[in-house]
Structure 1
């Protein structure tokens, strides 16, 4: 499966698909109509950093549809001579996907976050999106309850599953249970916290300036300090090394 312009860009060792918002929503709907399970993963600097030392995550990314979830990835692609049309923050593209799913009558399931968070997000979304068929379950699932949750996802007739457990745990979980998952799976990190209002989104000027990471650091400094203060320079260094050692080019998509 390929992106809009039949191209992707390798950024710090991770292949990132080239999508606009509309083309990505179309891709997810195409996945949801299919017969086999396909996975979509948003790529940001943190995911690239993790993938450098995590072979299991690299393998999961290589068999997934990937898209630019972080502005740093879009900027890095340009520096490397490639082109990613825009940043597709999962927080921004979730509602367009849900609206398209509701229009086609495709059931959706939210799995992740603390108890009650995904359901609060779902209540808000059901009010805004007529016909949305959406069920939820928190992400703190004991090993003994996994099968029951998978049965519930199947019983709902789920075609699009959002899994929010953080990177790389969510990719591991998906790969472990892939044979029982619906057609379209999107790993989504802390999406439900943002959609539910548990976390407040950054001001528009910070988002458009590529500074949303700084807002997140300010509201969760203990949890995110290492990811951004150490991780951002590490990502920049990896991109600069790549630029130094490779001929800048765009590469054909693999499994996207």
Structure 2
């Protein structure tokens, strides 16, 4: 696969290139990409970055993204420590920005993923705020057959979508996007839990917890059985690896 990483200012976190950006700049860039080229934007939190850093195939996927935005507060903090003007740019906020800000209402959006009915709720919610929603698809909880996959690609192509939001959790969403680079002529963005947050299926942390970098704690208290390993094992491991290996300018 040919690399499509642009000549951005980036910094390395455990082998994963992170783009120096912020919410406004990332949204502006995606809007400027309006057109038919196939691109991938990854939203990198601590958990997904750890998995990618330890898996060569996934790390290569991250390296072929047009942008890897710093979804997690610790990842943005590492960039600032390196002297970069970077701030947290998480998937749910990026999604809300691009779908609700009138400056971006000329973009056409497609929702791929979520549990049954979630994409439909998202479509109604954001269409009511002025966004152009041109299609949705909720895939089954199994790999698609080649025929099914071809139908999905055709559906997205025929919709005229310019941004495809993919919410099937990481790293599955990253693998799906990588497999469809060059086949879906749109900017594909993996946003995971953003589908649940914006549909109201899952409550998001209060703003003050988000600003304080405590959104992880709110999510852990919500779903301890599912998320305990992410926040109590992977997060401390991330800190240890960063302290022992450091980061470098890319």
Q: Answer whether TM exceeds 0.5 for this pair.
A: yes
> In 1, distance between residues paired with 2:186 and 2:206?
35
Q: Residues 69 and 90 of structure 2 are in contact (CA less than 8 Å); yes or no, is this contact kept in structure 1?
A: no
Correspondences of 1:18-167 after superposition (within 5 Å)? 18-33=20-35, 35-64=36-65, 65-79=67-81, 81-99=82-100, 103=104, 105-129=106-130, 132-140=132-140, 142-143=144-145, 144-167=147-170
Task: Return closer, same or farther for 1:82/1:58 CA change in 2, 3 Å cut-off.
Answer: farther
Q: What's the Cα RMSD here?
A: 1.9
Q: Residues 150 and 180 of structure 1 are in contact (CA less than 8 Å); yes or no, is this contact kept in structure 2?
A: yes
> In 2, distance between residues paired with 1:50 and 1:118?
27
Q: Residues 160 and 182 of structure 1 are in contact (CA less than 8 Å); yes or no, is this contact kept in structure 2?
A: no
Q: Residues 161 and 182 of structure 1 are in contact (CA less than 8 Å); yes or no, is this contact kept in structure 2?
A: no
The answer for the alignment partner of 2:16 in structure 1 is: 14
**TM-score, normalising length from structure 2?**
0.89
Give the CA deviation at 1:41.
Answer: 0.3
The alignment of Structure 1 onto Structure 2 pairs a total of residues equal to: 241
Structure 2 residue runs without a partner (length 5+): 1-5
Task: Return closer, same or farther for 1:239/1:84 CA change in 2, 3 Å cut-off.
Answer: farther
Give the CA deviation at 1:197.
Answer: 0.4
Task: Return closer, same or farther for 1:56/1:14 CA change in 2, 3 Å cut-off.
Answer: same
Q: Residues 20 and 79 of structure 2 are in contact (CA less than 8 Å); yes or no, is this contact kept in structure 1?
A: no
Give the CA deviation at 1:146.
Answer: 1.8
Structure 1 residue runs without a partner (length 5+): 252-256
**TM-score, normalising length from structure 1?**
0.87
1:150 aligned counterpart, secondary structure: helix
1:32 aligned counterpart, secondary structure: coil
> In 1, distance between residues paired with 2:62 and 2:248?
20
Which residue of 203, 206, 211 maps to 2:209?
A: 206
